Chains A and B, each alone.
Chain A
């Protein structure tokens, strides 16, 4: 490749476009991107990707994009949207990915705050959304789109297809060559801002986290080394582009290691597409693993008798020896043979079904994962690990090294990361990945990052005896009941969420005399249960209030209470009353963040009446709730929600827990 000869600044890549140039020569024929389009996987090699990105980048320059301009990226995982990152960075512009499913007004805040000059949209839906708030966006000059369906007939000023822009770039390259373009990024420094990622904001307005090339490249190098990732790996990109995890896994780490990023056809087919790709490196929030396990269980319930027996027999065996085998501990010969047999009959087909046959390492993060779910996957021989990360740290704060994996920790500090615990119990870290600052928000930057580079995570946790970090809850959420016993809502919520029938939980109790909770049923799992048990229902709402469903939820709560009773710190915060919510908590209604974390304060306000009812002893309560549809229209649903008492247990923590 002649293009790649001029390579990077003194051989050491400073920016991602440097890496692109390098990859186009060292991995010229290796796949860089794949995209399933019209049912067929299309592949671009690094050499081809270089060509596409160069023409795109030069085209943007022709369009009038200047260094320092901000370019929004709105849409799902598409190769052209990923190319936008590098194409923008090559000409000194700063890409700002935005959550594609946010409604127009949410999006408008970010676009205004970031002073967006151009917005790159995936399709008509996103173009419409950006256009609907165009009046508020003083700086916006251009809208670009990837998929022409429906947009083609638009008579809109300054609306361009990405392919048109690339065409412009190609013409320039053909007539004048690309030297000017190359000269442009040769002077870019590692300390320059690479990207701005807006945090989803569990509290208040989103903040724009500025990350430099150095931040991202150093973190990516460390992470690639940690898990031994190289140009032969493949991942599937299906998480929101605006989320730091996707940015690091599907963009920065891929450029640094040279591995291939595969984009599914659309979010609904992602699971199926994963099966076809069988990625070697896989990241998913616990929710995805939970859903997958629920689906497997649901399907097994529907399977024939023989299959069911075989499945439960071998899963029992995997539970016994699977994890020890994965951790490299010695296991009896008979057990090993039986595990091999199980691999043939059950584990391998199951892994194939989940698209994990080739998985080298998998991560889960963002929330705590149920210990049973975690060990289910590990017992199948999948190297699933947990990590703890933040946007402000380019993801990596701590992670589990191979062989030191336990369900209840988030691992040891990552290479290059220092962790300390403040007196208040809050976790702090310092690393090369620590962000530059929040965009146009020095106050927040000062509150979060100390002068010597320590960052407050906002999470309460401690380092356990083996040097692993354990997270209890958001620091500000940890509270006390009136009687002084510790109340860590997330801890309780997670315990409940580990039941496959429960999708979401919100616990209350800070400053009150007892602990109460809202539950959301999991429709897949409870729906299937209803089908098998001849429970008929007309709507989600009706199902939630079905006496049998409420009884089932009561049993789960009872179990958790028994569990809590055995734990020294938590026995005081057993759930005394609960209710099953009549609607699913939804980011469109503002009840959750776009990364699906519960927004506690918002819920406290919105469902104040229900919380009151939990504490005043009433047996049911009528409630009307406003809902927002994805197009911004509003509607209301109302229901009478029944409220249940749960049994409390005397503390029994004399048992083995003391050892902890």
Chain B
């Protein structure tokens, strides 16, 4: 991003060609007791694309993200990430393998500053042991300085210099969302999962956020899967769109195709029975 940038690359290098599948989701089914949240859904995310998942409330979109991210474990089906079929894994394993996410309801540390929150996103990349970390001295301090540089790049990227030291709890919602994106970026993910990044934002905030999403995608080549309700945003941002309804996939394709799909229109507007 800058001439003096030596450490922040935006994402890990995964050795997968752009345009090839980064993530395969095959025949996933997920249920909670008798409730079938997701039924037999398959799709893929290609490297370097912006993939949107849309659908009415309760369609299973967030569950889908939770599955990808290792938080839920599907009863059936498999997930292949970077060419490797994934065993049951914990979210932190998913995170260290290059998947990071933001949440529908902002999940930041409210009492901590913007800087510290984004710094928290670097935790997985810190190697010095607990002893040094505890004293914040010697190698741990050196390491923290290195990571601080990366965090500052992100702060500049997201244009949040003014709120660097503010506790995030006091910030407006739109800015909190931006900080959350910053924290997810700090892990330099291959796959960035965004759960309703524009929810509850005003027009200007939405435009800003869209710009950042596009920039992340283009500048760092980060692959993005996002859930969003704002159709205007989805149609503008996404390369491909998948539509869920009652846990089933009812559409998949280019934004214009999905827009013209009768099933999708029915799911959103409802049909008379």
Counted as pairs of residues, one from A and one from B, with CB atoms less than 8 Å apart, the total is: 28
- Return the contact of B153 from the options A38, A147, A268, A269 (Cβ within 8 A): A38
CB-contacts of B150-180 with A (<8 A): 152-153, 155-156, 161-162, 164
A222 to B2, CA, bound (A): 42
Q: Is the CB of A266 within 8 A of B2?
A: no
Q: Is the CB of B162 within 8 A of A39?
A: no
Q: Is the CB of A266 within 8 A of B161?
A: yes
A266 to B2, CA, bound (A): 17
Q: Is the CB of B1 within 8 A of A269?
A: no
Q: Is the CB of A269 within 8 A of B2?
A: no
Q: Is the CB of A268 within 8 A of B161?
A: yes
Q: Is the CB of A161 within 8 A of B3?
A: yes
- Return the contact of B3 from the options A163, A265, A266, A269 (Cβ within 8 A): A163
B20 within 8 A of A: no
Q: Nearest Cβ in chain B — how far from A274, in angstroms?
A: 13
Q: Which among B1, B3, B152 has the greatest number of chain A C-beta atoms within 10 A?
A: B3
Instruction: Chain A residues near B115: list those with CB within 8 A.
Output: 39
Instruction: Chain A residues near B128: list those with CB within 8 A.
Output: none
B149 within 8 A of A: yes
Q: Is the CB of A148 within 8 A of B3?
A: yes
A451 within 8 A of B: no
Q: Is the CB of A148 within 8 A of B2?
A: yes
A39 to B152, CA, bound (A): 7
Instruction: Chain B residues near A161: list those with CB within 8 A.
Output: 3
A582 to B155, CA, bound (A): 35
- Return the contact of B161 from the options A147, A148, A149, A269 (Cβ within 8 A): A269
A272 within 8 A of B: yes
Q: Is the CB of A149 within 8 A of B162?
A: no
Q: Nearest Cβ in chain B — how far from A266, in angstroms?
A: 6
- Return the contact of B164 from the options A39, A147, A148, A163 (Cβ within 8 A): A39
Q: Which residue of B lies closest to A268 (CB)?
A: B162
**0/1 interface trace, chain B 1-39, chain A, CB 8 Å (1 if under):** 111000000000000000000000000000000000000
Q: Which residue of B lies closest to A40 (CB)?
A: B152
Report if A272-B162 is in contact (Cβ < 8 Å); known contacts: A148-B2, A149-B2, A161-B3. Answer: yes
Q: Nearest Cβ in chain A — how far from B161, in angstroms?
A: 5
Q: Which residue of B lies closest to A267 (CB)?
A: B162
Q: Is the CB of A149 within 8 A of B1?
A: yes
CB-contacts of A111-156 with B (<8 A): 147-149
Q: Is the CB of A38 within 8 A of B149?
A: yes
What's the dominant secondary structure at chain B's contact region?
helix
A40 to B156, CA, bound (A): 12
Q: Is the CB of A38 within 8 A of B162?
A: no
A39 to B2, CA, bound (A): 15
Instruction: Chain B residues near A269: list those with CB within 8 A.
Output: 161-162
Q: Nearest Cβ in chain A — how far from B208, in angstroms?
A: 14
Q: How many residues of B contact A (CB 8 A)?
A: 13
A77 to B161, CA, bound (A): 16
Instruction: Chain A residues near B164: list those with CB within 8 A.
Output: 39
Instruction: Chain B residues near A39: list those with CB within 8 A.
Output: 115, 148, 152, 155, 161, 164
Instruction: Chain B residues near A147: list those with CB within 8 A.
Output: 2
Instruction: Chain B residues near A163: list those with CB within 8 A.
Output: 3
Q: Which among A38, A40, A148, A161 has the greatest number of chain B C-beta atoms within 10 A?
A: A38
Instruction: Chain A residues near B156: list those with CB within 8 A.
Output: 38, 149
Q: Nearest Cβ in chain B — how far from A534, in angstroms?
A: 20
Q: Which residue of A lies closest to B149 (CB)?
A: A38
A148 to B156, CA, bound (A): 13
Q: Which residue of B lies closest to A149 (CB)?
A: B1
Instruction: Chain A residues near B149: list those with CB within 8 A.
Output: 38
A38 to B159, CA, bound (A): 11
Q: Nearest Cβ in chain B — how far from A41, in angstroms?
A: 13
Instruction: Chain B residues near A266: list those with CB within 8 A.
Output: 161-162
A272 to B166, CA, bound (A): 12
A266 to B164, CA, bound (A): 13
Q: Is the CB of A265 within 8 A of B161?
A: yes
**0/1 interface trace, chain A 372-408, chain B, CB 8 Å (1 if under):** 0000000000000000000000000000000000000
**0/1 interface trace, chain A 158-190, chain B, CB 8 Å (1 if under):** 000101000000000000000000000000000
A598 to B2, CA, bound (A): 40
Q: Which among B1, B115, B153, B156 has the greatest number of chain A C-beta atoms within 10 A?
A: B156
Q: Nearest Cβ in chain A — how far from B185, in angstroms?
A: 15
Instruction: Chain B residues near A272: list those with CB within 8 A.
Output: 162
Q: Which residue of B lies closest to A271 (CB)?
A: B162
Q: Nearest Cβ in chain A — how far from B113, in angstroms?
A: 12
A149 to B5, CA, bound (A): 11
Q: Nearest Cβ in chain B — how far from A639, in angstroms?
A: 19
Q: Nearest Cβ in chain B — how far from A376, in angstroms?
A: 26
Q: Which residue of B lies closest to A265 (CB)?
A: B161
A148 to B157, CA, bound (A): 12
Q: Which residue of A lies closest to B3 (CB)?
A: A148
A149 to B218, CA, bound (A): 13
A268 to B153, CA, bound (A): 18
A147 to B161, CA, bound (A): 16
Q: Which residue of B lies closest to A264 (CB)?
A: B161
A38 to B155, CA, bound (A): 8
Q: Nearest Cβ in chain B — how far from A479, in angstroms?
A: 41
A38 to B164, CA, bound (A): 10
Q: Which residue of A lies closest to B164 (CB)?
A: A39
Instruction: Chain A residues near B161: list those with CB within 8 A.
Output: 39, 265-266, 268-269
Instruction: Chain B residues near A40: list those with CB within 8 A.
Output: 152
A-B contact pairs, 28 of them (CB 8 A): A38-B149, A38-B152, A38-B153, A38-B155, A38-B156, A39-B115, A39-B148, A39-B152, A39-B155, A39-B161, A39-B164, A40-B152, A147-B2, A148-B2, A148-B3, A149-B1, A149-B2, A149-B156, A161-B3, A163-B3, A265-B161, A266-B161, A266-B162, A268-B161, A268-B162, A269-B161, A269-B162, A272-B162
> B-contacting residues of A (Cβ < 8 Å)?
38-40, 147-149, 161, 163, 265-266, 268-269, 272
Given A39-B148, A148-B3, A149-B1, 6 more pairs with CB closer than 8 A: A39-B152, A147-B2, A148-B2, A149-B2, A266-B162, A268-B161
10 closest Cβ pairs, A-B complex: A38-B152, A268-B162, A39-B152, A265-B161, A269-B162, A269-B161, A148-B3, A266-B161, A149-B1, A148-B2
